[in-house]
């Protein structure tokens, strides 16, 4: 089985950010927490601040929830963001290289 390349974090979120997420599923109120993991379009948030009426749901979810990035707001950025890898892009061929690859080499008979 081929190994999957690790995802490079290109979002505005970092591990350790304090965020606010909207209510979903059994939650009746919005909640706040700390980002534990960043996925492609979602976050794993450890819930630290919630309405008392949602306590049973928070315990059932083991104090963690997956939230959409598009619905989540950053309240406090972390002071120590994880280093981000800069994606390495293949260099685009120059105009001369493109022309050279399309031009056939013809030798003249002497």
**How confident is the model over 47-84, as pLDDT tens digits?**
999 999 999 999 999 999 999 999 999 999 999 887 77
Task: Name all contacts of 19-24 with Cβ < 8 Å and 24+ positions apart.
Answer: 19/43, 19/45, 19/67, 19/72, 19/73, 19/74, 19/75, 20/72, 20/73, 20/75, 21/45, 21/65, 21/67, 21/71, 21/72, 21/73, 22/67, 22/71, 22/72, 23/54, 24/65, 24/67
Question: What's the whole-number mean pLDDT along residues 77-94?
Answer: 71
Average pLDDT of the residues of the chain: 83
Full-model pTM: 0.69
Higher-pLDDT residue of 31 and 82 is 31
């Amino acid at each position: 089985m081929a190994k999957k390349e690790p995802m490079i974090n290109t979002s505005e979120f970092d591990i350790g950010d304090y965020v606010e997420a909207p209510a979903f599923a059994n939650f009746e109120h919005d909640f706040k927490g700390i980002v534990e993991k960043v996925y492609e379009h979602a976050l794993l948030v450890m819930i630290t601040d919630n309405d008392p009426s949602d306590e049973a749901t928070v315990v059932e979810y083991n104090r963690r929830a997956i939230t959409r990035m598009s619905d989540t707001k950053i309240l406090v950025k972390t002071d120590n963001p994880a280093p981000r890898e800069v994606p390495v892009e293949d260099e685009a061929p120059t105009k001369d290289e493109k022309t050279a690859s399309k031009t056939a080499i013809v030798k003249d008979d002497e």
